[in-house]
Structure 1
Amino acid sequence: MAYTSDFLRRLDTRGFIHQITDPAALDAAASAGVVTAYVGYDCTAPSLHIGNLVSIMMLRHFQQSGHRPIVLMGGGTTKVGDPSGKDEGRQMLDDARIEANKASIRRIFERFLDFDGPNAAIMVDNDEWLSGLAYIPFLREIGRHFSVNRMLSFDSVKLRLDREQPLSFLEFNYMILQGYDYLELNRRFGCILQMGGSDQWGNIVNGTDLIRRVDGRDAFGLTTPLITRADGAKMGKTAAGAVWLHEDSLPGFDYWQFWRNTHDADVARFLKIYTDLELGAIEEVLAGDINAAKVVLATEATALCRGRPAAEAAAATAAATFAGGAGDDLPRFAIDAPVSILDALIGLGFAASKGEARRLVAGGGARIDGAPVTNDAELVSAGSRISAGKKRHGIIDLR
């Protein structure tokens, strides 16, 4: 549909929208005045990763469109664990670790959102209301609105059961707690929109239904599509591990280098999703050399997350490191599916045999996207940049 609100037009043209519970009504609300929306983030690690970046950018566009974003820190729900997309239960963290993770994650949002001004972002922790709940009153007031039959049909539960993976009663309660979060935010802040990834659709719909059943008010849900790379890999994961947003977890150069190694087929889409560049500017960038466009993507994405000085320093380091071969002059190896680092080194001509490739890895001379390789069974995906020593570099392409 053709949206009238600045917010939904932005999301639509930049590729963020997968599902909306009532598109016309949400569009009307976003056109009529200031809307409050939230995204929740559990505190399972000291940093979020690139898989979380789509929703963070959504909050950013939401605020830039004149609306009020809420960042919900999951200090309470982290104690339970979200089963969505998981084959097994998460490791239980103690309160001290959750608090430390929460404090670390908070700093990430300061680069993306404005916490001052007329539509200042709000950060709140659901532990404030979840940990104090009385079990029986909660079941009577909230639990009675949730159908077990329906809960079993949602992907977050159904996929786990279909794979015959255990699902604890603790995790089964997660969607009830997330629905209750939405109800609390609706009551406290007038929040009428929850946003998240496509795997959260069932949880979000539960929340909108709960608000309607308990308080008789309308609320909305919006999800983004699952973002995958051209090689089919899920965003946020590489052969070298997760791509963390926090500088304490991943150096700025390695973060820049991840974006620089984007596959050609992904550059246009990622410029729209992961940078602030206007669509006209993106078209101009794409009209030129694809490798120059990748440098723009890497620099703009890094500037948002790590600051402009860090982005420019990374770009300068890369230019010096790969001088004379930053683009088409580098050796390339085309693959149909992820291959081992040994096969990648041989395919690029950096090793004549697997034995030689193993010695290169064992000696610390092999790197994937700037990160040292310690396991010779490590897999390499298309879009990765492989280094052998300080002067030999190559690119893995998708066939």
Structure 2
Amino acid sequence: MSTLFDRLKERGFIEAVTDEKLPDYLEEKPFTVYVGFDPTADSLHLGHLLPIMAMHWFQQAGHRVLLLVGGATGMVGDPSGRSDERNLLTKEEIDENVRKVKLQIGKFIDFDSDNPAEIVNNIDWIGPMTFIDWLRDVGKHFNINHMLAKDSVKSRLASETGISYTEFSYQTMQAYDFKYLCEHEDCLLQCGGSDQWGNITAGIDLVRKSLQKQAYGITFPLLATSSGEKFGKSAGNAVWLDPELTSPYKFYQYWINSSDDDVERFLNYFTFMDMSDIAAVVDEHAAEPHRRLGQNRLAAEMTRLVHGEEGLKIAELASNILFGGDIEGLSDAELSDIFADVPSSEMAMADLEQGMSVIDVFSACGLAKSKGDARRLIQGGGARVNNQKIAGIEAEITKDMLASESCIVLRSGKKNYHLIKFK
């Protein structure tokens, strides 16, 4: 029977551990383990998923999971892996971000079982401390030479911008989080990305010096795609879990566009599928890679997990439509979701009821530069209404062509869409 550590290693989660005996200790008794997230935005993004999924497996194995939302550290900003300083957020912004992030974490971690995960916020214990308290009770345990030796600090000191005292102090705050949770929650294990190694070991040192206890750390790999691009970015922008920031369709497409070389790795990291099921998908995909079965399964699993069955339905429908499928029988809300990222304009319903020249509509909305251009587009077969080719230049757009209660979708060429909303 495989152990938790075996399972995490098999799925690719383990980058490093602070004690080679930790895998055995994890089997001897339940641990309390924590991972932290600084709420510097009002949504988690794909870069946060790996530690969240790891916490899922810890919880499944019977360990107690604490998810630390950094209301205090988020106001300072972690310099790890950064070449510049973050903009500092207000307390009100942090509080709102914390509220939203809590809701998103609940999609991956169980808060209602017999072994419920808990969310803690470090503003609760760091906030009440005075500066004198901090220097006396925390600062005395930190050696400046050791702090300067951390990779996250050295890289910033070597840069033109340097590092502020605010960010330099970050490692003491994260270390104190570990000490506080060890003292008050019996938490002996912290996990994080490999860029957190210095912060985690600083916490282990503080626990040892101040509490005379042995604490441990596990780091996960920092993800990149097989082509070397930063994981979780699409055209340079973060792929968010909040549908208001990244639509279910765009989220779905991110996974659909995964390289063949990344599919197995991402299925292991980000889904709850059994390893045997993943192996079957990978084998089936390898037999007929042109069908992209692996990418389709990955996209479906991830979109269902983050956005639910309804979000997956919208994403698959949008994918079908944007590759030329029929556009009919939809609601205004569904069309608005599908075409959230395309240009739109409003026209009068009264004009539609009388019938509108297709040439006039295409030129008015900007899909054609002029009526002459619209005429040539139609004659060349490049103009479509609801993905249906327009019969000829005399054609009209009428009310019975509505794809939803009040919308029609125009298309020029293969990819240029425009949503018309009739009022």
Please indicate, yes or no, whether the TM-score normalized by the shorter chain is above 0.5.
yes
Query: Closer, same or farther in 2 for the Cα pair 1:248/1:136, shift >3 Å?
Result: same
CA distance in 2 between partners of 1:206 and 1:119 (Å): 29
1:248 aligns with 2:248: no
Structure 2, unaligned stretches of length 5 or more?
A: 326-365, 370-410, 417-423
Contact 2:171 2:202 survives alignment (8 Å): yes
Deviations 1:14-63 (CA, angstroms, capped at 9, x unpaired): 00100100131x22221112211111111111101111111111111111
Aligned counterpart, 1:98: 94
Query: Closer, same or farther in 2 for the Cα pair 1:189/1:390, shift >3 Å?
Result: farther
1:18 aligns with 2:15: yes
- Please state how far the C-alpha of 1:120 moved relative to its aligned partner: 0.4
- Please state how far the C-alpha of 1:312 moved relative to its aligned partner: 3.8
CA distance in 1 between partners of 2:173 and 2:48 (Å): 20
Map 1:204-283 → 2, pairs under 5 A: 204-239=200-235, 241-283=237-279
CA distance in 1 between partners of 2:161 and 2:5 (Å): 38
Map 1:1-399 → 2, pairs under 5 A: 6-24=3-21, 26-239=22-235, 241-289=237-285, 290=289, 291-322=292-323, 391-392=414-415
* Higher relative contact order (Cα pairs below 8 Å, separated by 6+ residues): 1
- Select between 309-318 and 291-300 the one with higher mean Cα deviation: 309-318
What residue identity is the alignment partner of 1:200? Q
CA distance in 2 between partners of 1:51 and 1:104 (Å): 17
What residue identity is the alignment partner of 2:12? G
Contact 1:5 1:27 survives alignment (8 Å): no
What residue identity is the alignment partner of 2:323? F
CA distance in 1 between partners of 2:24 and 2:236 (Å): 45
Give the TM-score taking structure 2 as reference length.
Answer: 0.74
SS at match of 1:71: strand
SS at match of 2:106: helix
Aligned counterpart, 1:374: none
What residue identity is the alignment partner of 2:11? R
What residue identity is the alignment partner of 1:16? F
- Please state how far the C-alpha of 1:390 moved relative to its aligned partner: 7.0
Give the TM-score taking structure 1 as reference length.
Answer: 0.78
- Please state how far the C-alpha of 1:301 moved relative to its aligned partner: 1.3
Structure 1, unaligned stretches of length 5 or more?
A: 325-358, 363-387, 394-399
Contact 1:5 1:31 survives alignment (8 Å): no
What residue identity is the alignment partner of 1:233? E
What residue identity is the alignment partner of 1:309? E
Query: Closer, same or farther in 2 for the Cα pair 1:214/1:323, shift >3 Å?
Result: same
Q: Percent identity?
A: 40
Query: Closer, same or farther in 2 for the Cα pair 1:66/1:230, shift >3 Å?
Result: same
Query: Closer, same or farther in 2 for the Cα pair 1:308/1:63, shift >3 Å?
Result: farther
SS at match of 1:288: helix
Query: Closer, same or farther in 2 for the Cα pair 1:287/1:192, shift >3 Å?
Result: same
What residue identity is the alignment partner of 1:135? F
What residue identity is the alignment partner of 1:257? Q
Deviations 1:270-322 (CA, angstroms, capped at 9, x unpaired): 11001111111011101123301100001111222222332243224323433
CA distance in 2 between partners of 1:5 and 1:282 (Å): 17
Contact 1:299 1:311 survives alignment (8 Å): yes
CA distance in 2 between partners of 1:166 and 1:57 (Å): 34
- Please state how far the C-alpha of 1:6 moved relative to its aligned partner: 2.7
CA distance in 2 between partners of 1:43 and 1:27 (Å): 31
Query: Closer, same or farther in 2 for the Cα pair 1:316/1:287, shift >3 Å?
Result: farther
Query: Closer, same or farther in 2 for the Cα pair 1:107/1:390, shift >3 Å?
Result: farther
Query: Closer, same or farther in 2 for the Cα pair 1:5/1:281, shift >3 Å?
Result: closer
The structure number with the bigger radius of gyration is: 2
SS at match of 2:80: coil
Query: Closer, same or farther in 2 for the Cα pair 1:215/1:390, shift >3 Å?
Result: farther
Deviations 1:210-238 (CA, angstroms, capped at 9, x unpaired): 11111111111000111100111111222
CA distance in 2 between partners of 1:207 and 1:47 (Å): 27
Deviations 1:157-201 (CA, angstroms, capped at 9, x unpaired): 111112232211111110000000001111111111111101000
- Select between 142-151 and 204-213 the one with higher mean Cα deviation: 142-151
Structure 1 runs of 4+ aligned residues shifted over 6 Å read none
CA distance in 2 between partners of 1:389 and 1:90 (Å): 42
Contact 1:198 1:224 survives alignment (8 Å): yes
Task: Say how many residue pairs are matched.
Answer: 329
- Over the residues paired in the alignment, what is the CA RMSD in angstroms? 2.1
CA distance in 1 between partners of 2:97 and 2:13 (Å): 28
Contact 2:322 2:415 survives alignment (8 Å): no
What residue identity is the alignment partner of 2:49? L
CA distance in 1 between partners of 2:300 and 2:142 (Å): 46
Query: Closer, same or farther in 2 for the Cα pair 1:135/1:95, shift >3 Å?
Result: same
Query: Closer, same or farther in 2 for the Cα pair 1:303/1:87, shift >3 Å?
Result: same
Query: Closer, same or farther in 2 for the Cα pair 1:389/1:161, shift >3 Å?
Result: farther
What residue identity is the alignment partner of 1:19? A
Contact 1:143 1:176 survives alignment (8 Å): yes
Query: Closer, same or farther in 2 for the Cα pair 1:295/1:323, shift >3 Å?
Result: farther
